[in-house]
Amino acid sequence: MEKLLSEVQLAELRKMIDDARRVVCVCHVNPDGDALGSTLALWHWMRSMGKECSVVVPNCFPDFLAWMPGASEIIRYDKRKAEAEQIMGEADLMWVCDLNCSKRVLEMENALLGSPACKVMVDHHQDPDDFCNMVISEPQMCATCEILCHVLYQMGVLQEAGLDMAVCLYTGMMTDTGAFTYNSSRPVIFDCICRLLERGVDKDRIYRNVMWTATPARMRLIGYMLYVKMEVQKGLHTSLMTLTNAERRMLGIKNGDTEGVVNLPLQISGMRLSALLSEDTEHRNVVRISLRSVDDFPCNEMSARFFNGGGHMNAAGGRLECSMDEAVKRFHEAVKSYEALLK
């Protein structure tokens, strides 16, 4: 296990926690497994210490993560705004998880920045903004939950972690690496996994819950996207799929049904880049971009340059305020810009 904090930082963090009575854990918009895993792991830890603790997320999260221990207690800002703002305004300590930029909470940004709480950022994205009292940023790590594993081990917490906390940490690491199929070659990752398994984690069950639990609508969606919507540019080893809200309604898909669909075209021999452009379900004329790649194609760089986003080498996302047609045009411009690398 890696020591991420100096003795001074460790003492400072312990004092922040000891001095806090009310704690809130927050994460980015459209929370994924790592965002929920890290916030819920901290929620279990803080509650075990006798703290008043809440998890506040900006909006909805995938249905296939609703089984996670503590997920039923999560407060959605878009549904319970007044309650969420009161909690954030009264907090002594705020854990900012899987989030390097306050803009990634969208409408919740003012409440986040306006909270008087001591803020501790735990994140693995590049170039963190300076809005927290302490920043634990490790972009080389596979997930925010991996960072937490090291920090909690350094604090002597992971060794005695309860099963619920361990399950949340494992789920975050598994989902952010595609079940350990990318960004997961560092040996220390599996040291973390071993320690979580020692706490009683059933990794096979977690895999089934996340990867092999689908609705009939999701199965129809996969067939529709691959047969009808997938556009393959063979010479550029690139694929593109689009999804409108009208198509969502037609197929009857729910939140979370699209998870992982963007990865499927990467199974095509020689494919280097896969993209999914989908209309935002909550905002008009907003298109969300998901990018996945193999080897050394920089999804994060493309996302930052063309889609107001970021992420990791092989998995990134972004957001455009425009129509779907305009977003598709923008994607083709991005591909043309990276033509030499894609060929």
The string of pLDDT tens digits covering residues 201-211 is: 999 999 999 98
Strand partners for 292? 274, 315
The percent of residues in the chain predicted with pLDDT above 90, rounded, is 85
Q: Taking residues 84-99, what's their average pLDDT?
A: 97
Query: pTM (2 decimals)?
Result: 0.87
Q: For residue 255, give every residue at least 6 positions away whose Cβ sits within 8 Å of its Cβ, in sequence order, or none.
A: 60, 61, 62, 63, 281
Compute the mean pLDDT over every residue in the chain, rounded to the nearest whole number. Answer: 94
H helices present in 98-253, as ranges: 109-114, 144-154, 163-175, 187-198, 203-211, 216-224, 245-251
d(CA 183, CA 194): 18
Looking at residue 181, its pLDDT comes to 85
d(CA 170, CA 196): 7
Q: Taking residues 259-267, what's their average pLDDT?
A: 92
Looking at residue 95, its pLDDT comes to 98
- DSSP type of residue 134: E
Strands of the 134-137 sheet, one edge to the other: 75-76, 52-57, 22-26, 93-97, 118-123, 134-137
Residue 240 has pLDDT above 80, yes or no: yes
Residue 214 has pLDDT above 90, yes or no: no
